[in-house]
């Protein structure tokens, strides 16, 4: 009788301990769930590096299905800095600009502005922070002031003089009879090609964009205009992020980063000297006149 009874008491003890444990487990299970950690979460005290102004990741795009133009473009543009995009004709540079300006949606890959993804639903919002100066530089009959402010009629003289200084147009103001209110002639006929380009740049900068997209013209500039553009871009890149489709050696030499695009892919990234040493694709662009230097005899009016 003693043996079975002690087995019964042992079993009762086990059941009691099991019940206690079950109740404690139940209490833990009933606690509210902690929010899951996100991949980008950091430990307290560690600061997340700021997102770049523009981040293009593994971008793919085709105008016509089956004929890809972009096949894995990837690079970043920091908030204050000049990034030059270079590549042969047809490499996809203008297409990349069109995607960044949200004129098309990529087939694959992502575009982030300040860390936020571009989606088909936020086109307008993304475009609001971007200024695009492309090869179609329009200078109209009218004054310099009108040509700079025609999209921002409420700009003050201070705003206008700020962009005039940034784009090195001060000497045009001094040269024109009437200064800012001097007339530029038919289609800006009194300006050189480089000055017309910088008027378009000044107009774009009046909106204080976060990202400036500039397509340098393939046309040659004289040495004075080339130097003025280089200095203007360097100044502008201290105020906002600048991505420029570069055709000039002077621009790439001063760029903080150069992105080499070949057949729609990013094949190299770095500074001029670095790329000359390590990238055959870049060396070829820099030495075969795809990137050209200006000269005193090349002035275009
Ligand atoms: P470039 O330096 O000559 O301006 P790029 O590097 O800017 O050249 P893109 O203009 O982007 O090159 O063109 C890349 C490819 O996409 C080319 O083969 C071009 O023919 C093609 N392409 C460009 N625009 C269109 C379009 N709207 N429809 C179809 N194909 C296009």
The phi-psi region of residue 272 (left if phi > 0; otherwise alpha if psi is between -120 and 50; otherwise beta) is alpha
- Confirm or reject: Cβ of 102 under 6 Å from ligand 1: no
Q: What angle do CA 129, 133, 137 make, to 5 degrees?
A: 145
Per residue in 171-189, pLDDT (tens digit) is 899 998 888 898 887 777 7
pLDDT at 98: 95
Q: What interface predicted TM-score (ipTM) does this complex get?
A: 0.97
pLDDT band per the 50, 70, 90 thresholds, residue 38: low
**Res. 240: pLDDT tops 60:** yes
Eight-state DSSP code of residue 187: G
Burial of 112 (0-12, 13-18, 19+ CB in 10 A): middle
pLDDT mean across residues, the chain: 86
- Atom of ligand 1 at shortest distance to CA of 95? 11
pLDDT at 22: 76
pLDDT band per the 50, 70, 90 thresholds, residue 298: very low
Lowest mean pLDDT among 100-114, 117-131, 220-234, 236-250: 220-234
If one compares 200 and 190, the residue with the highest pLDDT of the two is 200
d(CA 244, CA 93): 10
Pocket test for ligand 1, best of 90, 248, 260 (most atoms within 8 A of CB): 90
Q: What angle do CA 196, 198, 201 make, to 5 degrees?
A: 120
pLDDT band per the 50, 70, 90 thresholds, residue 40: low
* CA 263 to the chain's CA centroid: 20
For tokens 């100044």, what's the residue? 235
d(CA 134, CA 11): 86
Confidence (pTM): 0.80
d(CA 245, CA 87): 9
pLDDT at 39: 57
d(CA 297, CA 280): 30
Distances (CA, A) of 58 to 73, 96, 265, 281: 5, 12, 9, 19
pLDDT at 269: 96
Rounded to the nearest angstrom, the distance between the alpha carbon of 92 and the centre of ligand 1 is 6
Give me the half-sphere count of Cα atoms (radius 13 Å) on the Cβ side of residue 101.
16
The answer to whether residues 15 and 7 touch, using CB atoms and an 8 Å cutoff, is no
Residue 158: CB atoms within 10 A of its CB come to: 7
Rounded to the nearest angstrom, the distance between the alpha carbon of 90 and the centre of ligand 1 is 5
Lowest mean pLDDT among 52-66, 139-153, 216-230: 216-230
Burial of 151 (0-12, 13-18, 19+ CB in 10 A): exposed
pLDDT at 255: 94
Per residue in 245-261, pLDDT (tens digit) is 998 888 899 999 999 99
pLDDT at 26: 78
- Confirm or reject: Cβ of 115 under 6 Å from ligand 1: no
- Confirm or reject: Cβ of 87 under 6 Å from ligand 1: yes
Eight-state DSSP code of residue 301: -
Per residue in 198-211, pLDDT (tens digit) is 899 899 999 889 99
pLDDT at 18: 77
């Amino acid at each position: 009788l003693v043996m079975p009874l002690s087995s019964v008491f042992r079993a009762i003890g086990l059941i009691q301990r099991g019940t206690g444990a079950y109740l404690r487990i139940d209490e833990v299970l009933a606690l509210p769930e902690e929010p899951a950690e996100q991949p980008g979460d950091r430990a307290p005290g560690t600061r997340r590096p700021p997102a770049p102004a523009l981040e293009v990741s593994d971008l793919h795009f085709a105008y016509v299905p089956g004929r890809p133009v972009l096949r894995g473009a990837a690079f970043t543009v920091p908030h204050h800095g000049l990034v030059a995009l270079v590549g042969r004709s047809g490499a996809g540079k203008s297409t990349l600009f069109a995607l960044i300006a949200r004129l098309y949606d990529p087939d694959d890959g992502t575009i982030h502005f300040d860390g936020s993804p571009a989606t088909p639903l936020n086109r307008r919002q993304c475009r609001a922070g971007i200024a695009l100066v492309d090869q179609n530089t329009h200078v109209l009959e009218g004054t310099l002031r009108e040509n700079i402010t025609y999209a921002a009629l409420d700009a003050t003289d201070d705003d206008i003089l700020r962009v005039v200084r940034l784009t090195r147009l001060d000497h045009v103001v001094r040269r024109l009879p009437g200064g800012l209110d001097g007339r530029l002639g038919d289609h800006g006929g009194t300006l050189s090609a480089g000055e017309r380009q910088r008027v378009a740049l000044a107009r774009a900068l009046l909106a204080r964009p976060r990202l400036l997209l500039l397509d340098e013209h393939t046309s040659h500039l004289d040495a004075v205009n080339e130097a003025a553009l280089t200095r203007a871009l360097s100044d502008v890149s201290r105020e906002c992020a600048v991505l420029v489709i570069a055709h000039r050696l002077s621009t790439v030499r001063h760029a903080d980063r150069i992105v080499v695009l070949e057949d729609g892919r990013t094949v190299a990234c770095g500074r001029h000297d670095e790329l000359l040493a390590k990238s055959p694709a870049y060396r070829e662009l820099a030495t075969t006149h795809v990137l050209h230097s200006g000269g005193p005899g090349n002035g275009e009016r």
